[in-house]
Homo-oligomer: A and B are copies of this chain.
Amino acid sequence: MQIGFVGLGIMGRPQALNLIKGGNKLMVWARRKESMQPLIDAGAAPGTSPKDVAANCDVTFTMVADTPDVQAVVLGPEGCIHGVKKGSVIADMSTISPNATKEIAAQLAAKGAEMLDAPVSGGEIGAVNGTLTIMVGGKPEVFEKVKPLFACMGKTITLVGGNGAGQVAKACNQIVVGVSIQAVSEALALAKRFGVDPAKVREALMGGFAGSKIMEIHGNRMISGDFKPGFKAKLHQKDMRIVMQAAEQLGMALPGAALFTQHLNALIGGGDGELDSSGIYKVIERMAK
């Protein structure tokens, strides 16, 4: 089986390398030629366009920044859709709009090709270590076919539902992570302002109902004041844009998610878009300065 990989940035490059390590034959493409070199050095063949990659591959992964980027590499003039073979699979691992995903899947289906949406969480470290959480939408039989390849890149791999369901799960993930960061930020800022050691509070709370990955890992970032990412605020902002757009399209209120997004805006507006998104702790603290 020939595997394609389109998009070789911070996430895509280590994911593609892990596919090669897993013994797979890869053809790759990236907008910038220099991004392809490390993969070619590792044994991958270079493609001339997303169309070229899709024409030569049974499963093509895409890992790019945002909805328009996926639309460009899949549906654009040199996009995968103009090369896809009947029965082949486009597996998009970017984080984009669930509704846009459904639309892309429908267009691919009209060409006889399958699509999976398979956004990830776990960041660059997860991509490098092959420990990503992968949330998948699509047909069960297509999922089963691609699952061994996902297993080269991730640890927890879940088929959530049909096309778009992976993106919905990712949107849910970003809400939970964001609003939980809000929760821990307010709690630790309150402790500090009371003159109580936030590290002791974190310790006391970890064992109980307030215990979470966010408390464990981001709580430490807030206590030490070290907001080296992790997951950059400006990327979380992009994902919350998808969430708020979904809320508008569905006609539902997500007030906690909206609140967190506003604090992200303030953090990024203050010049800290490159910090970890748990840096909104700084916004909570400085509101009362």
Residues of A that sit less than 8 Å from B by CB: 98, 121-122, 133, 135, 155-156, 158-161, 164-165, 168-169, 171-173, 175-180, 182-191, 193-197, 200-201, 203-205, 207-215, 217, 243, 246-247, 250-257, 259-260, 263, 284, 287-288
Contacts and interface: CB of A to CB of B under 8 A. Distances in A.
A181 B257 CA distance: 12
Contacts of A257: 186
A192 to B, nearest CB: 10
B252 A205 contact: no
Contact of A172 (B133, B155, B187, B253): B187
B214 A209 contact: yes
Question: How many protomers of this protein does the assembly include?
Answer: 2
B259 A256 contact: yes
A160 B196 contact: yes
Contact of A176 (B171, B184, B254): B184
A214 to B, nearest CB: 7
Chain A facing B: main interface SS: helix
B168 A191 contact: yes
B176 A187 contact: yes
Contacts of A159: 200
A250 B194 contact: yes
A160 B204 contact: yes
Contact of A175 (B164, B183, B203): B183
B210 A180 contact: yes
Nearest to A186: B254
Contacts of A209: 121-122, 133, 173, 177, 213-214, 217
Contact of A194 (B168, B189, B259, B284): B168
A252 to B, nearest CB: 4
A263 B259 CA distance: 14
B180 A168 contact: no
30 contacts: A98-B194, A121-B209, A155-B207, A160-B201, A168-B194, A168-B196, A169-B201, A169-B205, A171-B187, A172-B187, A172-B191, A175-B187, A176-B184, A176-B210, A176-B215, A178-B183, A179-B180, A180-B180, A182-B183, A183-B256, A186-B255, A186-B257, A190-B254, A208-B213, A212-B214, A212-B215, A252-B288, A253-B284, A253-B287, A256-B260
